[in-house]
């Protein structure tokens, strides 16, 4: 990471004397630091990756819109708070054209996405993401700019991958022919959610679109969920995207880049715990057609994420940070294994969702 005048950048946001600025690890897209002042205030400073988000003005307007809406509509609840610059802007551009933003730091338990997590955390994660969807249900979708066009357009992502494959030399595909073949076999199922959305069978909603455990904060003392963070991908979509991505990222019995796929198993207990929490919060807005598609969402989003990892691998690993050249291919294989196990468990998943729903339908 290149060196920055971090105290000088922080001074464009706050005037309090500083104690320390410590780099934070874990993010795949942006660079982050924890800022602590002498009056014990804490903030998160981030350098925005403009290769991924080339329109920082639109990005930060979206985040500002969501943060302000949640603060004004639900003032009793703790949510992400954007810290403006000293001249009241949502971000700062430094002399070397880097783009910076700052948030209030929210004290929380460092839960992460551990494979041996307590079930109550998954239940709370479901509640938080379901509540996020519920709270934004009345935010008009036209107020949010879709920064990443066709983000969850799964059939289009598949089409783009096939176009890439057709134009690459045969030798470049040797390591991933099995993955490409399997994805081609699933192509008939990939438009299930996107078609329902574009045909207005299910409603357009403002959704988070990156609902992994690391983007959910939990209270240190009670373990209860606090709120969602990382609002970069908040866009018009449908809550099925949030549900599917959460199940995809949380139910893996191993890690996202597990090289031995035998260690990658679908954790039904996590699926059930998260789903209970999600439905508990989002039930008031769930439509019958969304309910019907709930069990298919994790399967489709897992395949979509596998497509994204494979495409990034084939173009030279330009989107996701990697530690070794094959890492995105390994990540793709992990997503495929998860999707295969979800397919095997599909009827079991449907039964669990119906049983959870009866709790609320009979009230």
pLDDT of residue 113: 54
pTM of the complete model beyond 0.85: yes
The number of helices, as runs of H, and strands, as runs of E, in the chain is 12, 10
Spell 16-46 as b/e; 16+ CB within 10 A means b: beeeebeeeeeeebbbbbebbbeeeeebbbb
The pair phi, psi for residue 273, each rounded to 5°, is -65, -45
Q: What is the arithmetic mean of pLDDT over 206-225?
A: 94
Strands 216-218 and 92-93: unpaired
What distance in Å separates the CA atoms of residue 332 and residue 261, rounded to the nearest whole number? 11
What distance in Å separates the CA atoms of residue 189 and residue 300, rounded to the nearest whole number? 8
Residue from 88, 343, 113 nearest 249 by CA: 113
pLDDT of residue 325: 95
Q: 143-154, pLDDT tens digit by residue? A: 999 998 899 999
Greater confidence (183 vs 147) lies with: 183
Q: 253-302, pLDDT tens digit by residue? A: 999 999 999 999 999 999 999 999 999 999 999 999 999 999 999 999 99
What distance in Å separates the CA atoms of residue 328 and residue 250, rounded to the nearest whole number? 18
Q: What is the arithmetic mean of pLDDT over 218-238?
A: 95
Domain made up of 119-361: CATH architecture: Alpha-Beta Complex (3.90)
Phi-psi region of 237 (alpha: psi -120 to 50; beta: other; left: phi over 0): beta
- By three-state DSSP, how is residue 252 classified? strand
pLDDT score of 112 more than 80: no
Spell out the domain ranges in the chain: 6-104, 119-361
Q: 91-103, pLDDT tens digit by residue? A: 999 988 999 999 9
- Quick one: fold of 6-104? Phosphorylase Kinase; domain 1 (3.30.200)
pLDDT of residue 321: 83
Whether 315 contacts 160, CB under 8 Å: no
Lowest mean pLDDT: which of 12-21, 88-97, 111-120, 253-262? 111-120
According to DSSP, residue 256 is labeled T
Q: What is the arithmetic mean of pLDDT over 304-324?
A: 94
pLDDT of residue 114: 54
**H or E element at residue 56:** helix 56-73
Q: What percent of the chain has pLDDT over 90?
A: 87
């Amino acid at each position: 990471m290149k060196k920055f005048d971090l105290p000088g950048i922080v001074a464009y946001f706050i005037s309090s004397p500083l104690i320390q600025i410590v780099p934070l690890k874990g993010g795949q897209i942006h660079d982050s630091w924890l800022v602590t002042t002498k009056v014990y205030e804490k903030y998160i400073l981030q350098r925005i990756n403009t290769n991924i988000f080339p329109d920082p003005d639109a990005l930060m307007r979206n985040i500002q819109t969501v943060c302000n809406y949640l603060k004004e509509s639900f003032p009793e609840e703790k949510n992400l708070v954007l810290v403006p610059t000293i001249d009241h802007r949502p971000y700062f551009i430094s002399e070397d054209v880097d783009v910076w933003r700052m948030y209030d730091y929210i004290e929380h338990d460092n839960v992460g996405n551990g494979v041996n997590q307590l079930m109550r955390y998954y239940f709370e994660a479901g509640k938080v993401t379901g509540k996020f969807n519920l709270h934004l249900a009345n935010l008009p979708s036209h107020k949010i700019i879709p920064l990443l066009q066709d983000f969850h357009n799964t059939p289009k992502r598949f089409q783009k991958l096939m176009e890439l494959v057709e134009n690459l030399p045969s030798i470049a595909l040797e390591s991933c022919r099995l993955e490409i073949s399997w994805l081609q076999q699933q192509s008939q199922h990939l438009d299930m959610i996107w078609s329902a959305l574009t045909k207005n069978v299910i409603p357009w909603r403002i959704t988070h679109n990156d609902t992994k455990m690391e983007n959910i904060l939990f209270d240190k003392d009670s373990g209860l969920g606090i709120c969602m963070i990382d609002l970069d991908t908040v866009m018009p979509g449908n809550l099925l995207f949030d549900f599917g991505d959460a199940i995809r990222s949380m139910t893996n019995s191993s890690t996202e880049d597990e090289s031995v796929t035998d260690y990658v198993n679908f954790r039904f207990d996590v699926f059930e715990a998260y789903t209970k929490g999600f439905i508990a919060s989002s039930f008031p807005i769930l439509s019958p057609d969304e309910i019907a598609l709930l069990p298919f969402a994790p399967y489709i989003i897992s395949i979509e994420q596998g497509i994204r990892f494979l495409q990034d691998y084939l173009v030279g690993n330009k989107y996701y940070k990697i530690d070794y050249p094959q890492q995105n291919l390994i990540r793709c294989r992990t997503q495929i294994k998860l999707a295969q196990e979800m397919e095997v468990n599909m009827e079991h998943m449907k039964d669990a969702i119906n049983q959870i729903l009866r709790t609320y339908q009979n009230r």
